[in-house]
Amino acid sequence: MNGYKASIYPEGKGFTGVLDLGWKADGKRNRPKRKGPTKAVVKDKLAKLAKDLDDKVTTDRSVTVLRVATEYVDELERAGKAPRTISTYRSFVKNHVSKIGAIKIKDFEPLHVSVWLVELAAKLSPETLRKVHALLTNAINRAIVYRYVNENVSLPVARPQGRKDALRESKSFSVAQTDSILKTCLSPHQRFGGYLALALTSGLRIDELNGLTWEWLDLDSDEPTVYVERAARTDGKLKTENSRRGLTLGGVSVTALKDWRGIQRAEFAARGEIVSKETPVFTRPDGSAYTAITARQEFRALLAVAGIANPAEWTLRETRTTFVSIMSHHGIAREIIADMCGHTLKTLERHYRKVLAPVHRQSASVIDAVFGQAAHALAA
């Protein structure tokens, strides 16, 4: 069989096949076995084993899908992937990949993947399902590199849509709510006012706000400007190349930021420190930069002060959605909003389509005028 000596013999209620590969380094016979209910099944397994040997794929049958996925995440962690990403991936492995984890990677078939995805689609949102499927696919790609298998059975499998009702729809503050929040941001001794005022009036991402230093914020020139050059990500890089931008600030955010600057300098002075250009613009009482979690806590506390109902139901990223919504409904062109948000126009329309004003709003009156006459004529 493919140049290897093979034999098949009855054993128990089925058959056992053996390839004779000579002798191992420890002096023992090297005779991998395959079992099956019929000779034909065993013969197919031996043929696959022989092909794996020719392709230099490992013959170790103890490697499972769970081990392949776990090793993939471990390797990402060693490569310096962000801790939050690693935590998410480990959660995916534990809660989802583990359901098929006991299957040997050499026995893994597209049907296994398809059935698994259908089961997950009944409870996961489309985006989470996409990420879990991608994790499995990438893990098997790594397994190919390490010669556990020679094909990726996950790649060609069509992914179901997932539960749309499992999505948390992003929302935006109304104009009245935004006014109330900004008034609170401008109230005396409001530590988080500068942060939230800038978020609402600039559309900066949360990692851009948390990574902003005083080197890139100019409050004292004739045109106060914020420059987005880095983000609070593992490598400090921005999300996309389009994210690098400069934005002229409005009066409300300048006022709130200057108030905050005074508070921050006083806090640093009390500790015998000074605020330098490398200092994060937004810091906690101990001088450390905000994280996504600590910023969210301050955000919700400020919403409560501003009289916003159910502050726990809001997330900081919805300040960005609010910015897009208000700018769009005040007639700002989508192309300009996309530039201000660090997006391409296509990406803006895909992610914020529900809060963007209609492009041809003025055409509605024309449509009514033209087709309304026809409707009246028919009615007559």
pLDDT digits 0-9 by tens, 194-205:
999 999 998 898
Q: What H or E segment, with its residue span, contains residue 36? A: strand 33-36
Of the listed ranges 56-65, 152-161, 321-330, the least confidently predicted one is: 56-65
Edge-to-edge strand ranges of the sheet holding 225-228: 217-218, 225-228, 245-248
Least Cα distance to 264 among 251, 255, 274 occurs for 274
For residues 211 and 236, the answer to whether their CB atoms sit within 8 Å is yes
What are the pLDDT digits (tens) for 128-139?
999 999 999 999
> What is the spatial distance between Cα 27 and Cα 8, in angstroms, rounded to a whole number?
24
Q: 153-167, 275-289, 291-305: lowest mean pLDDT where?
A: 153-167
Higher per-residue confidence, 158 vs 47:
158
Measure the CA–CA gap between 322 and 332, rounded to whole angstroms.
Answer: 14
3-state secondary structure of 19: strand
Give yes or no for residue 362 having a pLDDT over 50.
Answer: no
The helix/strand/coil state of 231 is: coil
- Is the pLDDT at 363 greater than 50? The verdict is no
Q: How confident is the model at residue 55 (pLDDT cuts 50, 70, 90)?
A: low
Predicted confidence at residue 373, as pLDDT, reads 53
Say if residues 321 and 172 touch (Cβ distance below 8 Å). Answer: yes
Which of 74-78, 329-333, 361-365 has the largest mean confidence?
74-78
* Percent of the chain topping pLDDT 70: 86
What token pair was written down for 187?
Answer: 């109230």
| 367 vs 204, higher pLDDT | 204
How do beta strands 5-11 and 14-20 pair? antiparallel
Q: What are phi and psi of 247, to 5 degrees?
A: -130, 130
Structure tokens, 339: 């530039």
- Secondary structure class of 44 (helix, strand, coil): helix
Quick one: residue 141, left, alpha or beta (phi over 0 = left, psi -120 to 50 = alpha)?
A: alpha
Q: What is the structure's pLDDT at 314?
A: 93
Most confident region among 1-5, 140-144, 345-349 by mean pLDDT: 140-144
| pLDDT-derived band at 238, boundaries 50, 70, 90 | confident
For residues 215 and 347, the model is more confident at 215
pLDDT at 360 over 60: no
pLDDT at 286: 93
pTM of structure: 0.64
Structure token pair of residue 142 = 């790594």
At residue 15, φ and ψ (nearest 5 deg) are -135, 155
Q: Confirm if 105 and 145 have CB atoms less than 8 A apart.
A: no
pLDDT at 146 exceeding the cut of 80: yes
Q: What is 268-328 written as a DSSP string?
A: HHHTT----TTSBSSB-TTSPBP-HHHHHHHHHHHHHHTT-S-GGG--THHHHHHHHHHHH
pLDDT digits (tens, 9 = 90+) for 250-265: 899 999 999 999 999 9
* Strongest mean pLDDT among 74-88, 143-157, 271-285, 315-329: 271-285
Give 108 or 20, the one with higher predicted confidence. Answer: 108
**Residue 5: its pLDDT value, please?**
82
